[in-house]
């Protein structure tokens, strides 16, 4: 809902009224506009209207040794097929933080499996600590066996790969129904490693972007996870879908006057105030222009702007600001 | 291009517009008539509907000491009664205060008089509900309303749908109040959910702490999520709803700091089916602290019943409903000794007094407010309601084999915690940032026979977080830990030298331990023995002052001393080393100076830099006048401060966070925080750092990751070296460095050892401070000289400015001297309980030592005198003659200059200590001439003539 209402407006020079004018045509014109849109949509979507089936394989592994033996965990895309067509090449071949961004469309279905290749996972656990990793997703529909939690939570099964508190699965598969009404950007993350809270704060997180059928295209999409000391981001080419620039505080790039979309999700313990200096955007689901957003862990905040000038994105939280939690948005 | 649902959104909007436009197209007369009708209708409807609600609330104290509101004569509940009214209504709330403290009734967002009510009094609050919405009400007590005085007011529109929900096909369907099957209020406070269920007929049922609300699939359920205090995000698995006032579909919602509300409606299990769907706060620290429950969605045909959580009326000591899960609650506090204060701690102390006639606990002599007793299956709850700092709530001790242990969080935070305890025995909790904060819970089915200290199924043994498993509770170590708990948490058991006597008293209730004390014998039924067998009464003598004067002043953070003009504890006591008198007390009442912990000074020695460890503040004090210069926000729980010898920039270890804040010399604002760990890695939580004499390296003891970090002065991680030889949680806490920076010394609080590293960070040696300590019998001989000494729980460990000695203040009650030539322990001197801080200052020349030499100043938390140590009185380099030169009382006298009146715990809480002038190599060279002329040549050049 939120995305479509934003995509034509952005930048600082547009007033709210000029934006709104594009969205609320005169009442008398409404029926004609609606018909026109209907025709356009059916033309645009012809041949592409069928819901796609995604088959996805992820792994979880250790990554980003700080040089002193301290490691983080990350997801890696092993394989992604859409209706049989292999799109794995759009992802990094490495385990990344954030994990692969999975683009879906309302009406799709997903089978997604996790394999745990964290070292030491096959060692016997003492019955207290889970070594299992899972995928718990937000936003889309799934039944209780695809919750990605431990049995102590869901009363059914340890729903992940590796040794859980009670069950061991070498691979665990989840089924998602990307039902109508689930459009939006949502987190997926581990819920099982070590405790029933999982290891999302150690790097096991990623995003799904659920587009509405016939949703607008963007030249670039940026996923920015707001952590407790850095943004963890990536850039996605809107045409090739190729994902790049993974890691902390990435420098994002855009062509001047292109439309780009930011997908913010927070994670960790801190509360944040996000700013993209010199830009305004619509508060999702409203027609209110804002220039900063309060965001707490696992909330999402998605907006689009027209890239008009280079800028900097940053968190205004005092400690995070002092730690340098910011990055460049280069417009050329 | 519009999606189908966006069209609907616009259609709705259009309908509203069309309504207005239709009327504008009619002729003027008709229009006028319509407006009249409308106006009359509006007036009539508002007259008919604007109800006045007269509500009678009482504020009460619950059996576990928490506070709660009760409606009329009904039971007091948390959250308080949910008040459902309509927009335009008036609410007259008459509050009667049946508690022992002042309470109020405040509704942020709705204007009203917010005055408080004295105990035993009543007051009426008039509130006009001008706008629809969900509002929090609370007791207006500077945070302590988090103890239970909070509730919800739900103001709905007078007519029409009250909300919309998202169908499984994406439609957004409006619902009226009549269509809602049930409602839940879930209040997020600390790290606990407090629930109420509201039936279709309006009946309210308390669900208490972390309940499992229930519903049947496809029930229309409205949730009211509220919070007061630190912020949260609410997440419910597998359900989606609308962000209030928008068309944004969400499944997680921020509830911002101080107070916030969020109401939403769902169709239970819509699109996802039945299941136990977890709901939780999505802040990692709060998840780890236990802030979760399940929304139980039954298949159609199920009863959809909710499962009630632990209640303040349930199975706890003296609780009224022993067969229900109970809840004991600790307030996390900045108050000395009562850092984890049972909500009924004051009552327990009073009830257990020998003179408490008629009390069920008479004579048990429980002097601590930090001990609770409850039945298996009950829960312990923590609320950070009386602190300005960040903390963890972490297991230190638990019964061997207990479930859910160790309880811990991966970083310090603001909030609280809750954990259910099933296994009988003793559970001790601490804060990793402030490791002398203790709270203890004994879980026991029948406390009347004595308290199980270990797991009865496991020979009454306990586990320690340091990796010791199956420790017999009749061992010296276990009994020592018990004694430490009952001393640290009870000021009546502290050593007050100004009183002349020490009355050490422990509870008289039998403790069931593994067997007879200090033996290897186990008894299967346990061995009952009251700790009061260890009671002692002795005459205290503060000792004599040092025979020889020092140079300058010694600033001591008497962190627990209380003064009349401020709520928070702590002063700084300035000792004049010319005559060993207390020259000044600096309390800083104007900023409510909170637990001043450690200090440093600028090159001019004119400004004292002061951290406030239980806060996020750092103050600058004029050394000569004791006046406040500036109070600065620097990050949570700032612990130590050191200047860079090269440029006088200020570096502050931010113990509750993940870096070192930097204030450039001559300025008063933090410009950056140097990270102490790689991005995304676990917070290091640095405590007592040091800086190399050339100013190139900042060395931190990282308490959360149990390693030593070496960082460039401008940032950059050069080394991270684990300490503790592989044992978990060594807890390195303070650093000392050789004057030429060739070696780094780090005291490991919970590993009872001193790590020695070279300047590249390679571990050279780990010196055990336990010696041959026998955990069962207590036999120990740290320096093989026949005396039974050890350096248990070491804290500060500075190296003397001339590089000869490391002096370690060990909180178990000893001062350990290490010779840096051999890196061996050469001496152990006695110290008061809670020995903590140590630092060196210059000593005036004597006949024995014409070079002057140095005194080590050692502070203690649970005593109120300063210990002055001379590590090498004859200056021959042999430290075996190290001795206590004397003691200085830290209690103020009638000649002491003060900015506030001491009102309690006089001179207690000795922690950070700083001698002025600062005579460490690298800093001494920068002293102004006036200070230099007080020092000898060797003091001015501590590492020889090369400097």
CA separation for the pair A329, A231 (Å, rounded): 13
Task: Say if B545 falls within a structural domain.
Answer: no
Domain range for B294 is: 160-309
Mean pLDDT of B929-936: 97
Q: Decide if B716 touches A, using CB distance below 8 A.
A: no
B200, B118: one domain? no
- Is the pLDDT score of B419 beyond 90? yes
- Is the pLDDT score of A24 beyond 90? no
Instruction: Give the pLDDT confidence of B719-729 residue by residue, as tens digits.
Output: 999 999 988 89
How far B18 CA lies from chain A's nearest CA (Å)? 8
Mean pLDDT of B193-219: 97
Q: Decide if B51 touches A, using CB distance below 8 A.
A: no
Q: Decide if B618 touches A, using CB distance below 8 A.
A: no
Residues 6+ apart with CB under 8 A from B87: B129, B130, B131, B132, B155, B156, B157, B158
B526, B596: one domain? no
Instruction: Give the pLDDT confidence of A205-238 residue by residue, as tens digits.
Output: 999 999 999 999 999 999 999 999 999 999 999 9
What are the tokens at B857?
């100043």
How far B237 CA lies from chain A's nearest CA (Å)? 7
Task: Say if B947 falls within a structural domain.
Answer: no
**Contact criterion met (CB < 8 Å) for B284 and A41:** no
Instruction: Give the pLDDT confidence of B335-372 residue by residue, as tens digits.
Output: 999 999 999 999 999 999 999 999 999 999 999 999 99
Task: Say if B546 falls within a structural domain.
Answer: no
- Is the pLDDT score of A47 beyond 90? no
- Is the pLDDT score of B427 beyond 70? yes
- The reported pLDDT for the residue numbered B240 is 98
Q: Which residue of B has its CA nearest to A29?
A: B14
Task: Say if B316 falls within a structural domain.
Answer: no
H or E element: which one contains B301?
A: none
Q: Find the CB nearest A1 among B5, B276, B707.
A: B5
Instruction: Give the pLDDT confidence of A288-305 residue by residue, as tens digits.
Output: 999 999 999 999 999 999
Nearest to B542 by CA among B889, B859, B869: B889
Peptide bond into B895 cis (omega under 30): no
How far B316 CA lies from chain A's nearest CA (Å)? 26
B669, B727: one domain? yes
Instruction: Give the pLDDT confidence of A55-80 residue by residue, as tens digits.
Output: 999 999 999 888 888 899 999 999 99
CA separation for the pair B734, B720 (Å, rounded): 15
- The reported pLDDT for the residue numbered A129 is 81
Q: Decide if B164 touches A, using CB distance below 8 A.
A: no
- The reported pLDDT for the residue numbered B947 is 35
Task: Indicate the pLDDT class of residue B462, thresholds 50, 70 and 90.
Answer: very high
Using DSSP's 3-state secondary structure scheme, residue B499 falls into coil
Number of domains, chain B: 5
Look at chain A and count its residues: 332
How far B671 CA lies from chain A's nearest CA (Å)? 7
Mean pLDDT of chain B: 93
The 3 state secondary structure assigned to B374-436 is ECCCEEEEEEEEECCCCECCEEEEEECCCCCCCCCCCCCECCEEEEEECCCEEEEEECCCCCC
Residue A102 phi, psi (nearest 5): -105, 115
- Is the pLDDT score of A137 beyond 70? yes
**Contact criterion met (CB < 8 Å) for A228 and B171:** no
pTM, rounded to two decimals:
0.92
Q: Decide if A5 touches B, using CB distance below 8 A.
A: yes
CA separation for the pair B750, A165 (Å, rounded): 29
**Contact criterion met (CB < 8 Å) for A141 and B251:** no
Task: Say if B595 falls within a structural domain.
Answer: yes
- The reported pLDDT for the residue numbered A119 is 78
Residues of chain A positioned with their CB less than 8 A from the CB of B171: 181
Across the beta sheet with B690-691, the strand order is: B690-691, B697-702, B707-712, B717-722
Whether the CA torsion A208, A213, A214, A216 is positive or negative: it is negative
- The reported pLDDT for the residue numbered A123 is 61
Nearest to A197 by CA among B13, B283, B114, B641: B283
Task: Indicate the pLDDT class of residue A81, thresholds 50, 70 and 90.
Answer: very high
Instruction: Give the pLDDT confidence of B531-548 residue by residue, as tens digits.
Output: 999 999 999 999 999 999
**CATH number (domain holding residue B200):** 2.60.40.420
Q: Decide if A177 touches B, using CB distance below 8 A.
A: yes
The answer to whether B415 touches B283, Cβ cutoff 8 Å, is yes
Burial class (CB in 10 A: 0-12, 13-18, 19+), B486: buried
Q: Decide if B625 touches A, using CB distance below 8 A.
A: no
Task: Indicate the pLDDT class of residue B788, thresholds 50, 70 and 90.
Answer: low
Instruction: Give the pLDDT confidence of B825-863 residue by residue, as tens digits.
Output: 999 999 999 999 999 999 999 998 999 999 999 999 999
**CATH number (domain holding residue B915):** 2.130.10.10
**Contact criterion met (CB < 8 Å) for B6 and A5:** yes
- Is the pLDDT score of B667 beyond 80? yes
Q: Are strands B214-216 and B292-298 parallel, antiparallel or unpaired?
A: parallel
Task: Indicate the pLDDT class of residue A284, thresholds 50, 70 and 90.
Answer: very high
Nearest to B674 by CA among B645, B706, B697, B704: B697
CA separation for the pair B321, B308 (Å, rounded): 14
Q: What is the DSSP string of B626-651?
A: --EEEEEE-SSSEEEEEE-TTT--EE
CA separation for the pair A4, B672 (Å, rounded): 39
**Contact criterion met (CB < 8 Å) for B233 and A299:** yes
Interface mutation vs chain A, best among B252, B402, B615, B637, most A CBs within 10 Å = B252
Q: Decide if A200 touches B, using CB distance below 8 A.
A: yes
Q: Decide if B760 touches A, using CB distance below 8 A.
A: no
CA separation for the pair B261, B189 (Å, rounded): 12
B229, B272: one domain? yes
Q: Decide if B469 touches A, using CB distance below 8 A.
A: no
CA separation for the pair B150, B132 (Å, rounded): 19
CA separation for the pair B886, B546 (Å, rounded): 4
How far B561 CA lies from chain A's nearest CA (Å)? 30
The answer to whether B242 touches B248, Cβ cutoff 8 Å, is yes
B859, B771: one domain? yes
- The reported pLDDT for the residue numbered B783 is 53
CA separation for the pair B101, A66 (Å, rounded): 52
What are the tokens at A66?
């700080």
**Contact criterion met (CB < 8 Å) for A182 and B170:** yes
Give the ipTM of the model, two decimals please: 0.91
Q: Find the CB nearest A296 among B233, B272, B678.
A: B233
Q: Which residue of A has its CA nearest to B407?
A: A195
Fold that domain A1-40+216-332 belongs to in CATH: Immunoglobulin-like (2.60.40)
CA separation for the pair A155, B294 (Å, rounded): 10
Q: What is the DSSP string of B814-844?
A: EEEEEETTTTEEEEEEE--TTEEEEEEEEB-
Task: Say if B458 falls within a structural domain.
Answer: yes
What single-letter DSSP state applies at residue A251? P
Q: How many CB atoms lie within 10 A of CB A83?
A: 11
Domains A1-40+216-332 and A51-215 share a fold: yes
Q: What is the percentage of chain B residues whose pLDDT exceeds 90?
A: 88
- The reported pLDDT for the residue numbered B331 is 98
The answer to whether B797 touches B754, Cβ cutoff 8 Å, is yes
Q: Decide if B248 touches A, using CB distance below 8 A.
A: yes
Task: Say if B452 falls within a structural domain.
Answer: yes
B838, B801: one domain? yes
Q: Decide if B286 touches A, using CB distance below 8 A.
A: yes
Per-domain boundaries in chain A? 1-40+216-332, 51-215
E-only strand ranges, B454-532: 461-464, 471-472, 501-504, 510-513, 527-530
- The reported pLDDT for the residue numbered B773 is 82
Nearest to A88 by CA among A111, A48, A57, A52: A57
Burial class (CB in 10 A: 0-12, 13-18, 19+), B895: exposed
Task: Indicate the pLDDT class of residue B197, thresholds 50, 70 and 90.
Answer: very high
- The reported pLDDT for the residue numbered A31 is 52
CA separation for the pair B532, B120 (Å, rounded): 38
CA separation for the pair B643, B665 (Å, rounded): 9
- The reported pLDDT for the residue numbered B13 is 36
How far A10 CA lies from chain B's nearest CA (Å)? 17
Whether the CA torsion A270, A272, A276, A281 is positive or negative: it is positive
Fold that domain A51-215 belongs to in CATH: Immunoglobulin-like (2.60.40)
Using DSSP's 3-state secondary structure scheme, residue B409 falls into coil
Which conformational region is residue A203 in: left (phi greater than 0), alpha (psi within -120 to 50 degrees), or beta?
A: left
B15, B118: one domain? no
- The reported pLDDT for the residue numbered B184 is 98
**Contact criterion met (CB < 8 Å) for B245 and A286:** yes
Task: Say if B486 falls within a structural domain.
Answer: yes
Q: Find the CB nearest A184 among B7, B238, B249.
A: B249
**Contact criterion met (CB < 8 Å) for A149 and B278:** yes
Q: Decide if A30 touches B, using CB distance below 8 A.
A: yes
Nearest to B267 by CA among B303, B238, B235, B308: B238
Across the beta sheet with B150-156, the strand order is: B83-86, B150-156, B133-138
CA separation for the pair A286, A300 (Å, rounded): 15
What's the first-to-final CA gap in chain B, in angstroms? 76
- The reported pLDDT for the residue numbered B113 is 79
Using DSSP's 3-state secondary structure scheme, residue B482 falls into helix
**Contact criterion met (CB < 8 Å) for A27 and B237:** no
Q: Are strands B232-236 and B192-198 parallel, antiparallel or unpaired?
A: unpaired
Q: Which residue of A has its CA nearest to B19?
A: A27
- The reported pLDDT for the residue numbered A11 is 34
Q: Are strands A184-189 and B902-904 parallel, antiparallel or unpaired?
A: unpaired
**Contact criterion met (CB < 8 Å) for A214 and B3:** yes
Q: Give the dihedral of Cα atoms B265, B268, B270, B272; nearest 10 deg.
A: 130
Q: Decide if B876 touches A, using CB distance below 8 A.
A: no
What single-letter DSSP state applies at residue A205? E
Nearest to B412 by CA among B225, B659, B240: B659
CA separation for the pair B222, B163 (Å, rounded): 9
Q: What is the percentage of chain B residues whose pLDDT exceeds 70?
A: 93
B372, B228: one domain? no
- The reported pLDDT for the residue numbered B789 is 65
Residues 6+ apart with CB under 8 A from A35: none
Nearest to B857 by CA among B577, B511, B539: B577
CA separation for the pair B934, B198 (Å, rounded): 76
Q: Find the CB nearest A319 among B9, B635, B679.
A: B635
H or E element: which one contains A136?
A: strand A136-137
Instruction: Give the pLDDT confidence of A229-274 residue by residue, as tens digits.
Output: 999 999 999 999 999 999 999 999 999 999 999 999 999 999 999 9
Task: Indicate the pLDDT class of residue B17, thresholds 50, 70 and 90.
Answer: very low
Burial class (CB in 10 A: 0-12, 13-18, 19+), A323: buried
Residue A44 or B888, more confident: B888
Q: Decide if B726 touches A, using CB distance below 8 A.
A: no
Mean pLDDT of B126-148: 95
Report the DSSP beta bridge partners of residue A220: A237, A260
Residues of chain A positioned with their CB less than 8 A from the CB of B6: 1, 4-5
B195, B119: one domain? no
B720, B748: one domain? yes
B808, B830: one domain? yes
Residue B742 phi, psi (nearest 5): -70, -25
Q: Find the CB nearest A299 among B252, B271, B274.
A: B252
What's the first-to-final CA gap in chain A, in angstroms? 30
Residues 6+ apart with CB under 8 A from B405: B395, B398, B427, B463
B698, B633: one domain? yes
Q: Find the CB nearest A269 among B171, B249, B284.
A: B284
Interface mutation vs chain B, best among A193, A265, A319, most B CBs within 10 Å = A319
- Is the pLDDT score of B321 beyond 70? yes
CA separation for the pair A218, A303 (Å, rounded): 11
Q: Decide if B675 touches A, using CB distance below 8 A.
A: yes
Q: How many CB atoms lie within 10 A of CB B75?
A: 11
- Is the pLDDT score of B769 beyond 70? yes
In total, the C-beta contacts within 8 angstroms joining chain A to chain B are: 230
- Is the pLDDT score of A53 beyond 50? yes
């Amino acid at each position: 809902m939120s995305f479509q209402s934003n995509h034509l407006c952005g930048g600082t020079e547009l007033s709210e009224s000029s934006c709104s004018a594009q969205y609320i045509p005169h009442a008398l014109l409404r029926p004609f506009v609606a018909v026109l849109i209907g025709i356009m949509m059916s033309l645009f979507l012809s041949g592409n209207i069928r819901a796609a089936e995604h088959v996805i394989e992820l792994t979880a592994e250790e990554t980003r040794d700080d040089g002193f033996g301290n490691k983080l965990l990350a997801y890696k895309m092993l394989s992604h097929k859409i209706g049989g067509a292999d799109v794995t090449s759009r992802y990094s071949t490495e385990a990344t933080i954030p994990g692969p961004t999975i683009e879906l469309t309302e009406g799709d279905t997903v089978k997604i499996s996790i394999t745990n290749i964290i070292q030491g996972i096959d060692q016997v656990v003492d019955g207290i600590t889970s070594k299992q990793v899972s995928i718990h997703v937000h936003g889309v529909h799934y039944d209780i066996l695809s919750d990605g939690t431990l049995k102590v939570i869901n009363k059914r099964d340890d729903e992940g790969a590796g040794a859980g508190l009670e069950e061991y699965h070498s691979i665990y598969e989840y089924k998602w129904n990307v039902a109508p009404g689930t459009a939006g950007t949502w987190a997926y993350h581990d819920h099982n490693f070590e405790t029933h809270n999982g290891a999302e704060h150690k790097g096991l997180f990623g995003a799904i972007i659920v587009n509405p059928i016939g949703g607008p295209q963007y030249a670039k999409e940026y996923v920015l996870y707001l952590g407790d000391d850095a943004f963890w981001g990536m850039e996605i080419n809107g045409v090739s879908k190729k994902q790049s620039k993974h890691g902390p505080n990435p420098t994002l790039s855009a062509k001047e006057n292109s439309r780009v979309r930011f997908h913010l999700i927070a994670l960790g313990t801190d509360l944040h105030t996000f700013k993209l200096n010199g830009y305004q955007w619509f508060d999702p689901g409203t027609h209110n222009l804002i220039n900063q957003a309060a965001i707490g862990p696992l909330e999402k905040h998605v907006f689009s702007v027209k890239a008009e000038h280079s800028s900097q994105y940053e968190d205004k939280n005092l400690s995070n600001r002092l730690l340098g939690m910011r990055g460049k948005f280069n417009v050329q | 291009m519009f999606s189908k649902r966006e069209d609907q959104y616009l259609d709705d909007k259009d309908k509203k517009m069309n309504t207005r436009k239709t009327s504008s197209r009619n002729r003027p007369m008709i229009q006028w008539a319509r407006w009249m009708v409308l106006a009359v209708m509006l007036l009539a409807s508002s007259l008919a509907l604007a109800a006045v609600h007269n509500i009678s609330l009482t504020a009460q104290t619950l059996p576990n000491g928490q506070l709660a509101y009760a409606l009329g004569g009904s039971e007091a509940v948390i959250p308080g009664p949910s008040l459902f009214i309509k927009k335009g209504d008036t609410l007259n709330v008459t509050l009667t205060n049946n508690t022992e403290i002042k309470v109020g009734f405040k509704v942020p967002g709705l204007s009203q008089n917010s005055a408080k009510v004295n105990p035993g009094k009543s007051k009426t609050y008039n509130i006009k509900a001008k706008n629809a919405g969900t509002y929090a009400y609370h007791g207006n007590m500077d945070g302590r309303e988090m103890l239970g005085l909070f509730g919800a007011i739900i103001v709905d529109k007078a007519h029409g749908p009250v909300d919309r929900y998202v169908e499984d096909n994406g439609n957004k369907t409006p619902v009226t109040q009549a269509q809602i099957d049930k409602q839940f209020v879930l209040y997020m406070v600390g790290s606990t959910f407090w629930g109420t269920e509201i039936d279709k007929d309006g009946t309210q049922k308390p669900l208490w702490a972390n309940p499992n609300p229930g519903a049947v699939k496809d029930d229309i359920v409205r949730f009211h999520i509220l919070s007061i205090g630190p912020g949260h995000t609410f997440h419910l698995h597998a359900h989606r709803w609308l962000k209030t006032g928008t068309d944004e579909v969400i499944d997680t919602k921020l509830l911002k700091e101080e107070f916030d509300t969020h109401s939403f409606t769902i169709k239970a299990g819509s699109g996802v089916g039945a299941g136990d769907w977890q709901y939780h706060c999505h802040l990692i620290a709060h998840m780890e602290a236990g802030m979760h429950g399940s929304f139980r969605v039954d298949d159609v045909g199920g009863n959809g019943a909710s499962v009630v959580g632990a209640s303040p009326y349930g199975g706890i000591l003296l609780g009224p409903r022993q067969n229900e899960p109970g809840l004991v609650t600790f307030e996390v506090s900045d108050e000395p000794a009562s850092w984890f204060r049972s909500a009924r701690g004051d009552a327990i102390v009073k009830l257990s007094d020998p003179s408490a006639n008629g009390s069920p606990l008479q004579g048990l002599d429980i002097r601590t407010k930090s001990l609770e007793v409850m039945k298996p299956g009950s829960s312990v709850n923590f609320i950070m309601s009386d602190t300005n700092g960040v903390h963890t709530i972490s297991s230190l001790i638990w019964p061997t084999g207990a479930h859910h242990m160790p309880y811990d969080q991966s970083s310090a935070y603001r909030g609280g915690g809750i954990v259910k305890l099933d296994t009988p025995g003793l559970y001790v909790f601490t804060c990793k940032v402030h490791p002398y904060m203790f709270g203890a819970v004994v879980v026991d089915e029948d406390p009347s026979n004595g308290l199980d200290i270990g797991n009865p199924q496991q020979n009454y043994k306990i586990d320690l977080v340091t990796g010791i498993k199956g420790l017999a509770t009749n061992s010296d170590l276990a009994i020592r830990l018990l004694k430490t708990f009952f001393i640290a948490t009870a000021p009546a058991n502290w050593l007050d030298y100004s009183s002349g006597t020490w009355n050490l008293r422990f509870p008289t209730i039998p403790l069931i331990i593994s067997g007879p004390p200090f033996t290897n014998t186990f008894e299967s039924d346990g061995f009952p023995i009251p700790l009061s067998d260890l009671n002692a009464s002795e005459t205290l003598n503060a000792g004599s002052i040092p025979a020889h004067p020092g140079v300058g002043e010694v600033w001591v953070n008497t962190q627990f001393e209380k003064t009349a003009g401020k709520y928070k504890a702590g002063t700084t006591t300035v000792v004049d080393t010319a005559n060993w008198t207390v020259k000044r007390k600096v309390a800083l009442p104007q900023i409510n100076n909170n637990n001043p912990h450690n200090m440093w000074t600028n090159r001019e020695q004119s400004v004292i830099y002061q951290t406030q460890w239980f806060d996020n503040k750092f103050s600058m004090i004029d050394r000569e006048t004791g006046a406040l210069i500036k109070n600065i926000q620097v990050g949570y729980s700032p612990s130590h401060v050191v200047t860079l010898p090269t440029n006088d920039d200020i570096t502050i270890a931010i113990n509750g966070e993940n870096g070192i804040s930097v204030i450039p010399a001559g300025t008063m604002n933090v410009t950056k925080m140097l990270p102490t760990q790689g991005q995304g890695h676990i917070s290091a939580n640095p405590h007592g750092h040091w800086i190399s004499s050339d100013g190139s390296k900042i060395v931190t003891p990282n308490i959360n990751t149990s390693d030593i970090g070496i960082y460039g002065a401008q940032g950059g991680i050069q080394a991270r070296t684990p300490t503790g030889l592989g044992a978990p949680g060594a807890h390195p806490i303070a650093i000392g460095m050789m004057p030429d920076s060739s070696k780094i010394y780090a005291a490991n609080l919970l590993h009872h050892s001193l790590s020695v590293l070279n300047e590249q960070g390679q571990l050279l040696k780990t010196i055990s401070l336990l010696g041959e300590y026998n955990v069962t019998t207590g036999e120990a001989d740290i320096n093989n000289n026949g005396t039974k000494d050890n350096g248990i729980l070491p804290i500060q460990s500075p190296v003397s400015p001339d590089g000869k000695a490391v002096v370690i203040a060990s909180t178990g009650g000893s001062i350990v001297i290490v010779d840096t030539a051999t890196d061996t322990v050469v001496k152990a001197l006695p110290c008061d309980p809670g020995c903590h801080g140590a630092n060196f200052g210059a000593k005036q020349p004597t006949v024995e030592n014409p070079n002057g030499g140095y005194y080590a100043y050692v502070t203690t938390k649970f005593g109120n005198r300063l210990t002055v140590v001379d590590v090498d009185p004859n200056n021959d380099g042999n430290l075996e003659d190290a001795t206590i030169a004397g003691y200085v009382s830290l209690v103020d006298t009638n000649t002491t200059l003060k900015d506030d009146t001491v009102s309690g715990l006089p001179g207690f809480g000795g922690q950070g200590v700083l001698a002025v002038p600062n005579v460490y190599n690298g800093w001494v060279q920068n002293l102004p001439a006036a200070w230099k002329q007080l020092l000898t040549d060797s003091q001015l050049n501590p590492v020889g003539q090369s400097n």
